[in-house]
Structure 1
Amino acid sequence: MSTLSILSDNIRYLRMQIPGLTQGKIAAELAVTRDSYAKYEIGKTAPPLDVLLALSRYFQVSTDQLLTVDLRKYKLQEI
């Protein structure tokens, strides 16, 4: 599994864990367009470093975990 694939799966999974959280809401918090954020979630493009860091802070997960660990397999409290 590629790093981009892991990242896209993780950010989609993390967003889905928060009721009512939409791609548009996250995009606004990250100061990117909803279309750009959607491309990150489907793995079409990788976010720039500043957006990756903002995603890490937003979801309170390290960049290492976002890029290398399939978070769907773990309870968030275990990480």
Structure 2
Amino acid sequence: MMNNTSFLARNIKSLRNQKNWSQQDLADRLNRVHGTISKWETEKEVPPIETLIELSKLFQVSIDYLVGNHYEQEHYVKEFNQLYQIKQADEELMHIVDYLKQHPNFKDILHKYINQSISDRKLMEDMMSIYVNK
């Protein structure tokens, strides 16, 4: 299994590529030089915590995700997808699992919602739909 430095290097490169950014594009956004990004992606250097925070905001992922602490979550999602016969990787589901892992209070709220009557759930879904579609 890869260590966290390997995950970090791979994830920075992968997330940068998903945005179709060159190393220079990312360096410009972070006010760094191109060589710094290259060093991060080749594991020659590790960004300081302040930069990890910047990267997590820029890529809209958690620091846990950046450093590879999502591996167990990915394994869980694969098992979940297999159990419920979901054919393709469900990125939305992975984000939901990550969110629930990071926000246990919301998990409790969601559990209470699931245990409500169908009519109460329908009412809540209608209210959420109005809020989300604003």
Question: Does the alignment reach a TM-score above 0.5?
Answer: yes
Q: 1:75 to 1:7 in 2, by over 3 A?
A: farther
Q: Quote the sequence identity (%).
A: 33
Q: Could you say which residue in structure 1 is the equivalent of 2:17?
A: 16
For 2:5 and 2:40, the matched residues in 1 are separated by 8
Q: What's the secondary structure of 1:44's corresponding residue?
A: coil
For 1:18 and 1:9, the matched residues in 2 are separated by 14
Q: Could you say which residue in structure 2 is the equivalent of 1:48?
A: 48
Q: Could you say which residue in structure 1 is the equivalent of 2:3?
A: 2
For 1:24 and 1:63, the matched residues in 2 are separated by 22
Q: 1:75 to 1:41 in 2, by over 3 A?
A: farther
Where structure 2 has 5 or more consecutive residues not aligned to the other structure, the ranges are 75-88, 96-134
TM-score (norm 1): 0.83
Higher relative contact order (CA 8 A, sep 6+): 1
Structure 1 residue 76: Cα displacement: 4.6
Counterpart of 1:23 in structure 2: which amino acid? Q
Structure 1 stretches of 4+ with a deviation exceeding 3 A read 73-77
Q: 1:58 to 1:75 in 2, by over 3 A?
A: farther
For 1:11 and 1:76, the matched residues in 2 are separated by 18
By percentage of residues, which structure has more helix?
2
TM-score (norm 2): 0.51
Listed one character per residue, the Cα deviations across residues 11-55 of structure 1 (whole Å, up to 9, x for unaligned) are 111111123x11101111111111011111111110011111111
The structure that has the greater radius of gyration is 2
Counterpart of 1:56 in structure 2: which amino acid? S
For 1:27 and 1:33, the matched residues in 2 are separated by 5
Counterpart of 1:7 in structure 2: which amino acid? L
Q: 1:55 to 1:76 in 2, by over 3 A?
A: farther
The RMSD of aligned alpha carbons is 1.8
